[in-house]
């Protein structure tokens, strides 16, 4: 006789708790991670399927003064932050029964363990959009692929990263 499971699906956090999680993640990325504030990162989408961060070009971010190009370190840091952001939204989705505080507690253990950036074009634009896809979210390690576009939609750089998540 076949065995049937009557396991209950995991309970989902309430709409109110989901809003608290979104607010907490936004505050973390835009205000509490000080370096993200220096970069000017702003949350554009918290959707785990299409997370997005944006930042405006400013004189402090210029790497080549003659051409006004975005500094390569800014590109790298923005894509690294984007990978961590994508994983944080994915962790929230993976653990739908956890409160905002529990999800943020998981973030406290996250750290970059490998990062590769490919610079494809000059970082010229009025603003930039970073996106990422989570390619793997295991119990200990998460992997992402990231992209940075300028305001005209031109792909400036890509990245791949692995993060400790536990």
Asked, for residue 130, whether it belongs to a domain, the answer is: yes
Q: How many Cα atoms occupy the beta-carbon half-sphere of 36 within 13 Å?
A: 22
Tell me the pTM.
0.91
How confident is the model at residue 39, as a pLDDT? 97
How confident is the model at residue 7, as a pLDDT? 62
Number of domains in the chain: 1
Distance CA 117, CA 108 (A): 24
Asked, for residue 2, whether it belongs to a domain, the answer is: no
Q: Which residue has the higher pLDDT, 68 or 78?
A: 78
pLDDT-wise least confident of 2-6, 108-112, 115-119, 122-126: 2-6
pLDDT at residue 6 is higher than 80: no
How many C-beta atoms lie closer than 10 Å to residue 96's C-beta?
14
How confident is the model at residue 159, as a pLDDT? 98
Print the domain residue range for 135: 15-164
Asked, for residue 5, whether it belongs to a domain, the answer is: no
Asked, for residue 54, whether it belongs to a domain, the answer is: yes
Q: Which residue has the higher pLDDT, 108 or 90?
A: 90
Asked, for residue 152, whether it belongs to a domain, the answer is: yes
Confidence bin at 1 (pLDDT 50/70/90): low
- Quote the mean pLDDT of the chain: 93
| Backbone phi, psi, residue 30, to 5° | -90, -25
pLDDT at residue 24 is higher than 70: yes
Asked, for residue 52, whether it belongs to a domain, the answer is: yes
Asked, for residue 10, whether it belongs to a domain, the answer is: no
Check which CATH number belongs to the domain holding 98 and give it: 3.10.129.10
How confident is the model at residue 8, as a pLDDT? 63
Asked, for residue 47, whether it belongs to a domain, the answer is: yes
């Amino acid at each position: 006789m076949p065995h049937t499971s009557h396991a209950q699906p995991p309970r989902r956090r309430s709409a109110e708790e989901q809003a608290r999680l979104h607010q907490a993640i936004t505050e973390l990325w835009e205000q509490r991670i000080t370096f993200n504030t220096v970069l000017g990162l702003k949350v554009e989408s918290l959707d785990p399927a299409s997370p997005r961060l944006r930042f405006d070009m400013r004189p402090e971010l210029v790497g080549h003064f003659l051409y006004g190009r975005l500094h390569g370190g800014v590109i790298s840091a923005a894509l690294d932050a984007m990978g961590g952001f994508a994983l944080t939204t994915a962790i929230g989705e993976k653990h739908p029964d956890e409160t905002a505080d529990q999800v943020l507690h998981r973030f406290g253990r996250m750290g970059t363990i490998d990062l590769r950036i490919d610079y494809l074009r000059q970082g010229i634009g009025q603003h930039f959009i970073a996106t990422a896809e989570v390619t793997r979210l295991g119990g200990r390690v998460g992997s992402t692929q990231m992209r940075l576009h300028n305001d005209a939609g031109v792909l400036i750089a890509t990245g791949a990263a692995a993060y400790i998540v536990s």
